[in-house]
Amino acid sequence: MSIHEPIIIRKMNHKALSGFGYNNAFVYFAKFFNFIPLSSKPFFFVSDGFFEDLSPEEQLFLIGHELVHAKHRHLLYDQFIFLLIFLILLFFAFLQVGRFINYLVRIYSFKNYEKYLAIVLYILVFVSLNLCIKVTFCCYRKQQEWQADQESLALLKSYNGGIKFFERCVREYRQDWHSGGIFVDHPSNYERRMYCLTAQQNESLNKSIG
Ligand SMILES: [Zn+2]
């Protein structure tokens, strides 16, 4: 998979288990306050027991997916960059709010309400900007998840494991086939199983042509 450096494998602790759930694995880079990157050395975290329950095919798909995250350094700088963009945009947005309030005070003489208006406007700007950044970040993450699946499928031909894993997610882990909404940062189990099936069909087609 063109990964030439060691990856440290760790069991998930209680904090990680409560955040990510028992049926999960993820790649993590050391960060200060979970935002500022400290090292580009990847750690592969997996919950104890969950991994052993999977079939070798499913393990292959999952390991491939996580290794793609490690290879492309997904989430190493991303959260920090998004936070920086948010703070810069917030700074300029707040400047504009300040100017807008000054303008209103000049045109209309409601000096008594100035403070309340300012508080409401600042909160509104903060909440809406925060929402926009969160939605953008979720779309961005969804694209990274898609990339990790696609590269795992292409490099390891791990579609059989992928199909079984997403079926297990719904049947055994009680996840939904379809996950919607603006804060979803993964393709749905349905989408993921579908592109595993497509990869499987393409492969058997290639074999029959070959
Ligand atoms: Zn992932």
Banded model confidence at residue 177, pLDDT cuts 50, 70, 90: very high
| Separation of CA 65 and ligand 1 centre (Å) | 6
Ligand 1 (single-atom ion) residues, CB below 5 Å? 145, 148
Can you tell me the distance from the alpha carbon of 150 to that of 187, in angstroms, rounded to the nearest whole number?
Answer: 12
pTM of the model as a whole: 0.87
Can you tell me the distance from the alpha carbon of 3 to that of 116, in angstroms, rounded to the nearest whole number?
Answer: 56
pLDDT at 116: 85
- Is residue 171 over pLDDT 70? yes
Average pLDDT for 187-208: 93
Chain centroid, CA 145 distance in Å: 7
The terminus-to-terminus CA distance of the chain in angstroms comes to 24
Which residue type occupies 128? S
Q: Residue ranges per domain, the chain?
A: 8-209
Q: What is the pLDDT of residues 37-84, one digit of tens each?
A: 999 899 999 887 888 899 999 999 999 999 999 999 999 999 999 999
Dig out the tokens for 164 from the structure: 């079984």
| Separation of CA 69 and ligand 1 centre (Å) | 7
Which residue type occupies 15? K
Average pLDDT for 146-159: 94
Can you tell me the distance from the alpha carbon of 130 to that of 124, in angstroms, rounded to the nearest whole number?
Answer: 10
The mean pLDDT value of the chain amounts to: 91
| Separation of CA 103 and ligand 1 centre (Å) | 48
| Separation of CA 207 and ligand 1 centre (Å) | 29
Quick one: which H or E segment has residue 43?
Answer: strand 43-46
CB atoms within 10 A of CB 178: 9
Banded model confidence at residue 110, pLDDT cuts 50, 70, 90: low
Which residue type occupies 113? Y
In degrees and rounded to multiples of 5, residue 46 shows phi and psi of: -145, 145
| Separation of CA 145 and ligand 1 centre (Å) | 5
> pLDDT over 90 for what percent of the chain?
62
| Separation of CA 116 and ligand 1 centre (Å) | 44
| Separation of CA 3 and ligand 1 centre (Å) | 17
| Separation of CA 79 and ligand 1 centre (Å) | 15
172-176: list long-range contacts, CB under 8 Å, 24+ apart: 173/23
